[in-house]
Amino acid sequence: MMFESGLYVVATPIGNLADMSQRAIDLLEAAEIVAVEDSRVTGKLLHHLGLKKKMRRYNDHSGEAERESLVAAARGAVVALVSDAGTPLISDPGYKLVRSARAAGVPVYTIPGASAVTAALSICGLPTDRFLFAGFLPNKAKARVETLTELGQVKATLVFYEAGPRLAASLSAIAETYGDREVAVARELTKKFEEVVTGTASELAARYAAQEPKGEIVLIVGPPADDVAYDTGDVDAALREALDTMSAAKAAGVIAKRFGLERSDVYARATQLKSQ
C-alpha cells in the first residue's frame, strides 16, 4: 500500500493487540518516523508487529523545536503519530503538532481505530445520542466539584477518564453534586479482566471505596432527567437547615437539586450564609 508524505494520526489498540487494523499496520511499516508518547510502550507494539522503526518522543512536554522538526520531516516523508493506547489527541498529546502541520500546509491524515470513549459508550447501556467527553476530573476536591457543577446542566451523557485510586472520590463527588444519577464504570476494556459495572453514583462509590479497582477506567454519568418535579419554597431557609448538618458543598448539591437551581449559584449563597 502506498502512502503520500504527511502526518498520520494513527489509532492503536487500547488493550487487545489484535484490534490493530491492517491499514494501521501498513502505515507503520511505511513510516519513516513514529512519534510516540513512550518508546517502551510503542516498542512493544512494534515488536509484536515485527517492525523496527525510528521512534521520536512526542508528549505534553515537547516544545516548538520538536514540533517543527516533525513537521519538516512530514513534508517529504510519512510520519506517524501514536499515543500509548487508543486514538491520539483524545486526552492525549498531539493537537499542537496537528495544528502546526496544518498551518504549514503539511497534509494530515487519520488512520482511525480504537478509542476507550466510544468503546465504553457502546456497551454501558446509558444514552449515547448526545455525550460530552471531559477528560480527567481535577485531582483536588474543590476543583472537582466546581467542574462537575459546571457540567451538571449539560443535557447529555458525561464521559470521563479516571484512575483507580481516585475513582471512589470522584463517584462520591458525583453523588454529592448530581444526586443518584445512573453511572457506569468501564474498566480494562478489551483486556482479560474487562468489566462494566452500573448503578447509582453512591452505590458505586461505596463499592470502590471498599476495594480500589485496577487498570484503565472510563467513568460514564447519565444525563439529567427532563421531568424532575422540584419543590418550591424559601431557598435560604432550606439552606440554613441543611448547613446545620452538612458542608456548604454538600448542602448546595442537595438544595440545588431540590429547587431546580444551578448548583454554583446555590453554593455561592451557601458560603455567604455560612460566613454569617
- Grid coordinates of 192: 482479560
Establish if 196 belongs to a structural domain. yes
pTM above 0.75, yes or no: yes
Tell me: do 141 and 107 sit in the same domain: no
Give the separation between CA 188 and CA 94, rounded to whole angstroms.
24
Question: What is the bridge-based pairing of β-strands 33-36 and 55-57?
Answer: parallel
Q: Report whether 84 contacts 46 (CB < 8 A).
A: no
Establish if 229 belongs to a structural domain. no
Total number of domains in the chain: 3
Q: Any idea what the CATH number is for the domain that residue 193 is in?
A: 3.30.950.10
Tell me: do 94 and 184 sit in the same domain: no
Question: What is the bridge-based pairing of β-strands 157-162 and 6-10?
Answer: unpaired
Establish if 227 belongs to a structural domain. no
- Grid coordinates of 167: 475513582
Interhelix angle for 22-30 vs 39-49, to 10°? 110
Tell me: do 37 and 110 sit in the same domain: yes
Residue 233: pLDDT band (50, 70, 90) is low
Q: Any idea what the CATH number is for the domain that residue 12 is in?
A: 3.40.1010.10
Establish if 1 belongs to a structural domain. no
What's the pLDDT score for residue 218? Answer: 98
Tell me: do 53 and 109 sit in the same domain: yes
Domain extent at residue 49: 6-114
What's the pLDDT score for residue 68? Answer: 97
More confident residue, 225 or 219: 219
pLDDT at 166 over 90: yes
Establish if 226 belongs to a structural domain. no
Tell me: do 68 and 143 sit in the same domain: no
Tell me: do 139 and 200 sit in the same domain: yes
Give the tens place of pLDDT for each residue, 25-82. 999 999 999 999 999 999 999 999 999 999 999 998 899 999 999 999 999 999 999 9
